[in-house]
Every structure is written in structure tokens, then in C-alpha cells.
Amino acid sequence: MNQQLLFYTLQLADNALINGHRLSEWCGHGPVLEQDIAISNIALDHLGRARSLYQYAAELFNALPPEERSTVFNSPALQEKVQMGALLDEDDLAYLRDGWDFRNVLLVEQPNEDWAFTIARSFYFDVHNFYFFEALKSSTDKMLASIAEKSLKEIAYHLRWSSEWVIRLGDGTDESHQRMQNALNERWMFTGELNTPATFELNLQETGAPVDLGIVAPRWMQKVTEVITEATLKLPASTWMQQGGKNGVHSEHLGYVLAELQFMQRAYPDMEW
Amino acid sequence: MEIVFTENQILDWLRSVTDPEVPILTILDLGIVRGVTLAGHEVTVVITPTYSGCPAMDVIAMNIRMALLSHGVRKVNIENQLSPAWTTDWMSDEGKQKLQEYGIAPPRRSSGLASPALFDDELVPCPRCGSEHTELTSQFGPTSCKSLHRCLSCLEPFEHFKCH
Ligand SMILES: [Zn+2]
């Protein structure tokens, strides 16, 4: 059961890290200074939440019986440490796992493309995050509940920011309207996974630790519809929903993200600055 | 010789630790010190982060350690407490006054519940001329805790310590 809780925590940590990394790619490239600052601030909130979650995940991992620890991951660099009996910390989990050990949803690893695509990804994810973390506050797991309590106020700001941009672009010029609609349509296929539980989530359900996604899903749909309507845009047509991220099956984009994110630790193991 | 510290002494020493991003505020003004416990030569300070990713927190933890060690405390433990989550309601009145004098509009309304309500701009008076005729430039400022505003009376831009 503890291994399931570890996967659950890692899934949330990976969502935060990869989403934060994607947003940080805009730093220095924002369309105007204020938005450059805004998106970098938001990236920092996600990275901060990722740290708390990785610290907790490391704690859960280190508490597993030694024989079980060697069966959790399939990443050579991390396994080498584990085989030597080393305990893991937040940095090991962020920097030494390969793509197949990452459990983030496919949505957050999708490339930034233009501003509308970035906003579409953030908007879908922020709506989910808001209702998800609101529910996680009542988790029976005390640590997850306190991380949720801490994060929720920040997430409320993120959601406000991305929603307002959807409206600004949708209800803007013909071109911004068209681009926003196109981006929402193109990213729609990655939204189904947000509210589809993975095996480890279902296995944990009876402990009361995880969020019941059945509660989050209708709230997500209602809020998304509300904002898209206000933006004079159309809800994308239903389509085949892609999934796999929660189980380590990713799109080709994650590899490029990790190559940049992990470069220093892989080239110079244990370096600090 | 046995040195005995009192809690008030420790709190007094913590008054020398300031927020590296808003150096006029001490960590006590900010309301992030949640408790101090003493056990002989060992002092445990419980702090709560303002924002999850706030880079100032690491610096603050280090400065707490330095301040107490310099007063002869032999062992300093710093504990991070996430719940209850920090709110600007915990900022001291003195801290709010200092912000105002420093040119940063202090948080005003009680933070209440996190709300994603759209275009809900709160009224933030200009810290320079007091005018209530101001507008929001950006919800996100140079640090996590501040937003950007502009005064439409004196035309000066200013920062606001966000309600949180
Ligand atoms: Zn003014």
C-alpha cells in the first residue's frame, strides 16, 4: 500500500515539476514584461509544490523495506544508488529517473508552441488542479492534506490568470480568437487523462488518501465550459482521449524536457551550486 | 557554565532576521515564526513558508541559524510547517505600517478562502498619495508575494503585498 501512495505522490510531484519546467521556458521570452514575470512566478509556485511532494515521496520510499526498494524504479542511474543501499532525496527523484519512471499526465509535457497553446495547456491543467487540490485538503493522508492546503491559494491565482487569458484572446481580435480556439481543440485530447484514475489510485481509494476523480470531473467540465463560453469560444468536439503518462508511457516530448532538466546532474553527478 | 535561554530572548534575537526580499520586515512582522521550543542548549524554531516556491525561505532558515548561533545557542533546529497555511492575516500591524511607509501597499482585506473569481480586482489605495483611483497592472510582481499597480492620480507605479 505504501508503494501505491509513493506512486500517487510522485504522480502529483511530476505533474508539478514538468508543468513548472514548461512554463519556465517562457522566462525571458514573454510577450510583455508583466506576463514574463507572471509566468515565471507561476512556474516557481509549481516547482515549490514539486519540492514538497518529492520530499514526501523520498520519505515514503526510504520507509519501504529494503528488498522492496529495489523493485520500485527502472532507471539505471537511480537503481545504482538504491542497490548500494543509499536513501533517496528530492533531487534523486527529480534528476535520476528516466522518462518511463515519470508519472505526469501527457498534457503538461506538451510543448509551449505559441502563447495560445501555452494558455490552453495551463487553463485545462489549472482548472483540474484547483478542484483536485480543494478535494485533497480532506485527504486522510496528513502530509498530502497540508501540501494541498498550502498550494490551493496559489493555484487559485493560476486559474484566474489562465482563465482571464482564455477570455482575453477568445473575445479579442479575429486572429487571437482563431488561435485560442485552435489551441483548445488541439490540446483537448489530453484532458481525459486528468480525471481517469490509474491503477495505483484505484488501489488506494479505500484508504481515503486519494481524491475521488468522479467528484472532480463534473466540476472541471462545468468550469471549462463556463470560461470557454464567456470567451465566445466553442467547447472542442469530443475525440479519442490520449493517456499513458500516469503509467510511465509518454509522448516523445518528455525526453527533450528531461534532457535539459537533468543535464547537469547526469554530466556531473552530485554537483551543487 | 550553564546558559539558560528564555523564549522571549530567542524571539528578541529573531527580530534581527529580516525578509531578504522586503528587508524592512522582520520574520516576526511577516508572521512566519509559528513557535519556539527550548531544550537545554537546543532551540527549535517552527516556521511556515509564505509561498511554496519562495526562494527567500532557504535564506531565512540560514539567517535564523546564524542569528541564534551567534548568541551562543549550540544547536538550532528549523522545522517547516505547512498547515495551517500562512496567510497575510498573520502579518503584524507594525509590519503593515512599515510596508506603507516603505512605499508598498500593505495587504488589507482578510484573505478568506482561495477563490478563482475572475476579474475580481480589490481596491488598493496608492501608498504614496493615498488615492483610491488605482488600477492593477499585473497580479504577479517581482516576487511571489507582490502584485503590480498604477496610481491614476499621482501616476506613479507601485507594488502591493498581496492578500494571501
Ligand atoms: Zn498616487
- A27 neighbors A36 (Cβ within 8 angstroms): yes
Q: What is the pLDDT of residue B141?
A: 87
SS3 readout for A7-70 = HHHHHHHHHHHHHHHHHHCCCCCCCCHHHHHHHHHHHHHHHHHHHHHHHHHHHHHHCCCHHHHC
Q: What is the pLDDT of residue B135?
A: 93
Confidence band, pLDDT 50/70/90 cuts, at residue B3: low
- B116 neighbors A156 (Cβ within 8 angstroms): yes
Three cell numbers written together for B35: 513557535
Nearest CA-CA partner of A153 in B59, B84, B108: B84
Q: What is the pLDDT of residue B142?
A: 84
Q: What is the pLDDT of residue B139?
A: 87
- Chain B contacts in chain A segment 47-106 (CB below 8 A): 47-49, 51-52
Confidence band, pLDDT 50/70/90 cuts, at residue A245: very high
Three cell numbers written together for B153: 492620480
- Residue A52 is nearest to which of B52, B140, B144, comparing CB atoms? B52
- Residue B144 is nearest to which of A34, A45, A163, comparing CB atoms? A45
Q: Does A147 touch chain B (CB under 8 A)?
A: yes
Nearest CA-CA partner of A227 in A151, A157, A171, A152: A171
Q: Which amino acid is at A69?
A: R
- HSE-CB for A206 with a 13 A CA cutoff: 2
B137/A51 touch (CB, cutoff 8 Å), yes or no: no
User: What are the residues facing B138 on neighbouring strands?
Assistant: B148
Tell me the chain B residues in contact with residue A161 when contact means C-beta distances shorter than 8 Å: 139-140
Nearest CA-CA partner of B136 in B109, B100, B162, B116: B162
| Residue scoring higher pLDDT (B53 or B105) | B105
Backbone angles phi, psi at B35, to 5 degrees: 175, 155
Q: Flag whether pLDDT at B87 surpasses 80.
A: yes
Q: Which residue of B has its CA nearest to A164?
A: B118
Confidence band, pLDDT 50/70/90 cuts, at residue B119: low
Q: Which residue of A has its CA nearest to B111?
A: A153
Mean pLDDT of all residues in A146-159: 94
Q: Flag whether pLDDT at B1 surpasses 50.
A: no
In this structure, are strands B75-80 and B42-47 parallel, antiparallel, or unpaired?
Answer: parallel
Q: Helix B7-14 vs helix B56-70: angle between axes, to the nearest 10 degrees?
A: 130
Confidence band, pLDDT 50/70/90 cuts, at residue A270: confident
Q: What is the pLDDT of residue B112?
A: 53
* Residue-range domain boundaries for chain B: 7-80, 90-161
Q: Answer yes or no: pTM beyond 0.80.
A: yes
Tell me the chain B residues in contact with residue A145 when contact means C-beta distances shorter than 8 Å: 83
Distance from residue B133's CA to the centre of ligand 1 (Å): 8
DSSP 8-state class, residue A240: P
Name the residue with cell 478562502.
Answer: B113
Three cell numbers written together for B67: 542569528
Q: Where is average pLDDT lowest: A119-123, A269-273, B114-118? A: B114-118
- B90 neighbors B144 (Cβ within 8 angstroms): no
Burial A32-54 (b: 16+ CB within 10 A, else e): eeebbbbbbbbbbbbbbbbbbbb
User: What are the residues facing B150 on neighbouring strands?
Assistant: B135, B157
Distance from residue B84's CA to the centre of ligand 1 (Å): 36
ipTM of the complex: 0.85
* Residue-range domain boundaries for chain A: 2-267
Q: Which amino acid is at A101?
A: D
Q: Does A135 touch chain B (CB under 8 A)?
A: no
Three cell numbers written together for A241: 482521449
Give Cα separations from A98 to A18, A82, A103, A248, A261 (angstroms): 13, 15, 11, 9, 11
Edge-to-edge strand list for the sheet holding B157-161: B104-105, B157-161, B146-151, B134-138
CATH number of B7-80: 3.30.300.130
Q: Where is average pLDDT lowest: A116-120, B7-11, B114-118? A: B114-118
Q: Flag whether pLDDT at B44 surpasses 90.
A: yes
Q: Where is average pLDDT lowest: A78-92, A196-210, B61-75, B118-132? A: B118-132
Q: Which residue of A has its CA nearest to B139?
A: A38
> Could you tell me which CATH class the domain A2-267 is placed in?
mainly alpha
Mean pLDDT of all residues in A23-51: 95
Backbone angles phi, psi at B107, to 5 degrees: -65, 140
Q: How far apart are CA A168 and CA A123, in angstroms?
A: 13
DSSP string, B78-91: EEE--SSPP-GGGS
